[in-house]
Amino acid sequence: MKRWAAFLALLCLLPVGWDSLASGTTPPKENQSPLPVIPELPPFPNPRYEIQPLSLSQVLMKTLGASPSIVISKRQVAVRFAQRITAIETFFPSIAIGGGTMDYSGEVQGSTGQFSNVTKQNSQLSHGLFLSVNPLSSSFQTLIATTNLDSARSFLSETENQKMAQGASLYFRTSASYSRIAVYREAVRISRKILDEERRLVELGGASVVGILRAAHEVARNTRFMVQEENRAYRLSFRLAQLLGESPPILPTPRESFLFPRLYLDDQENLRHLLALADRKRPLLAGVRQQVEARRQAFQNVLFGPAFPTLSAGILNGSLGPDFTSLVGMNQAITMAFWNIGPGGLLDPGGILLARKNVRLQEARLSRQRFIVHRQVSDSFESLRKTRQEEVVALEDVRLAKLTFDATQIRVQLGLFHALELIISLRDLINAQLRYIDIVEEFEASQFRLMAAIGVRPDFIAVNNYPGVSGLTGPVEPKSRTGKQGGGGSTKGRPSP
């Protein structure tokens, strides 16, 4: 009895009558349509924005000129260059200018043995050249400054490579987002046709309102996903505009209408060969190696620099006299050689120990950075290799899903229409296309991550005399997945959006 009482209480809470529940339909309220109203969406992209179609090479070139990180790295190179000039200047003499007066007041004993008070005033004006330098230490300082300059230039190249990989990844993400919008837009169109067919069958008495509601739900579902993807595309385009130094209302968009896989480098290289190439070509490793060399040079300077004496020389011309009105000429020549013993000079165990520890610390950083670079190369290499295999499988999945959907449409033409069956096959096709787009996006981005990890660039982005490596970089016009040349790639055997 308690179970039946609970069941009757549940029926009282339902918003439909028993007859409607049994028939599987819900009676609409008076003057209200049983279907939800799908609002008309504004065009995408919005006309308020100025569309700026860009190719991948244009995005990368703009990134090199507008990235704040690259600007900071260039300023660091300029600072290192100024430090090198400062170190070289220690070899040159400086101009010395001096002058002043001296007052003397006291007792002076004369030849007779008597003391008398004397007051004297001397004035002096001098000018000339003066040099004080330790040639060996100055040579080490100049060498260290030069090594630091080379290290800063290597880090500039590293920053440029990383920003190019970031720009390429953002470009591919934006392109993939626009491709998903095309898929959802087509899905909305097809689901609306299913909805129209269900309405027609209901009017003819051949279907129930459940099919209409199911088709309307599919329209709303695909429309919601399309709006979400459009929002994501706006955000990606704005980020791309920021990277390129642009601002709204300019909206940079990919020049290609749909994302297809392209080869920008030959990934059929041996991993061991790529790791060895990264050791030689990666700017980050070159910069850290130069820092190690600078620490070694500093250690040599602390160890051997004070052994050579500091040389001082000066030539002064001037005037000397009891007052400014009666100055007589004077010449001075000064030469000195001295050694500094203690802190900062000879026999400085603390300075030697510190310099040696700095060398070992920088060597440990180099070893750690080398492990990180090898991991990046291995990850990018495997990601590229596996996504290339996934792309083949995903393309076959799209082909089978398209065949299934076409077969379902043939059943519709034969009068065996069923909304749920058509909706399920449409969802399978959409999901297969979206997975394919995701894999292609990862496939293309992984190529640029691998190039950045190795330290090479594609031929069409060879700047600052740092060209790509022969045998690794692709042609100016990237190849499609099928190996054909051209900016748009081959579409043979590809699914339409």
Q: Residues near 39 by Cβ (< 8 Å), separated by ≥ 6?
A: none
pLDDT-based confidence at residue 207 (cuts at 50, 70, 90) = low
Greatest mean pLDDT among 258-262, 312-316, 403-407 lies in 403-407
Mean pLDDT confidence for 460-481: 37
Buried b (16+ CB within 10 A) or exposed e, 16-51: eeeeeeeeeeeeeeeeeeebeebeeeeeebeeebee
pLDDT tens-digit series, residues 137-193:
888 888 999 999 999 999 999 999 898 899 999 999 999 999 999 999 999 988 888
Mean pLDDT confidence for 67-95: 88
Structural domains of the chain, with CATH: 56-101+121-480 (1.20.1600.10)
- Collapsing DSSP to helix, strand or coil, 97 comes out as strand
Residue 359: its pLDDT value, please?
93
pLDDT at 465 over 50: no
How far, in Å, CA of 471 to CA of 428, rounded?
Answer: 40
pLDDT tens-digit series, residues 232-283:
999 999 998 888 888 778 888 888 767 788 888 765 568 888 999 999 999 9
DSSP H or E run through 104: strand 94-109
Give me the half-sphere count of Cα atoms (radius 13 Å) on the Cβ side of residue 2: 0
Please state whether 132 falls in left (phi above 0), alpha (psi between -120 and 50) or beta: beta
pLDDT at 305 over 70: yes
* Whole-number average pLDDT of the chain: 78
Residue type, 404: T
pLDDT at 316 over 60: yes
Q: What is the DSSP letter of 245?
A: T
Residue 311: its pLDDT value, please?
82
pTM of the model: 0.72
Q: Residues near 136 by Cβ (< 8 Å), separated by ≥ 6?
A: 304, 305, 307, 308
Cβ–Cβ < 8 Å for 373, 289: no
pLDDT-based confidence at residue 22 (cuts at 50, 70, 90) = very low
